[in-house]
A = this chain, B = another copy of it.
Amino acid sequence: MEKLKRNILEQGVVLDHSILRVDRFLNHQIDPILMNEIGKEFSNRFKKDEITKVLTIEASGIAPAIFTAFHLNVPIVFAKKRKSVIQDEHVYQTSVFSYTKKETYQITVECMYIDPLDRVLIIDDFLAAGEAVSGLSRIVDMAKAKLMGVGIVIEKGFQHGGDNLRKTGLKVESLAIIDEMSTDKIIFRENVEERP
């Protein structure tokens, strides 16, 4: 998605070789016009998959996920992050390790919001090692629903989480895949663009 890549090049800040801050348009300040286009793009890429529910994680997954759900005309559910394990039979819960924050957190979804008949599309803002998506996909399994695919705004290709998921046969669509980055250059998969 060219507009997204342009935003990353012009407004993203690479802090080291693995951290990209896109606070200016994606996960602190958000550009709603871009989010709408992102949602439209995901809905096009998954329109044949008869999605019945979009699943994401709070907080920065919500913006791209809700516009995707809007264009697919289905509900969205966001998993909630918790520090501690809770004992509640009405909730699906699983652990996710965050490499960025170097900590494990719990994600929870109320059982009633994913049905065994659901055809689920997972949407998230970032994919690196794939921990968050794997956690969400375990929740889809717990609910005995069908995971139809994964839509990612920015994939860190050099951390291989996306490719590992694709190897399992899962449909993973990323709007921008970064294969290499440094403070002066971001290399997207398929095409190389110099920073302005």
Contacts and interface: CB of A to CB of B under 8 A. Distances in A.
Interface in A17-37: 23-25, 28-33, 35-36
Interface residues of A, number: 29
Main SS class of interface, A: mixed
A174 to B, nearest CB: 21
Contacts of A25: 75
Given A58-B58, A59-B59, A62-B59, A28 B78 contact: yes
A70 interface: yes
A70 B36 contact: yes
Interface centre among A31, A32, A36, A69 (most CB of B within 10 A): A32
A76 interface: yes
B32 A59 contact: no
Interface of A: 23-25, 28-33, 35-36, 58-59, 62-63, 66-67, 69-70, 73-78, 80, 109-110, 113
Sorted from nearest, which 7 A-B pairs have the closest CB atoms? A58-B59, A32-B70, A59-B59, A32-B69, A29-B113, A62-B62, A29-B77
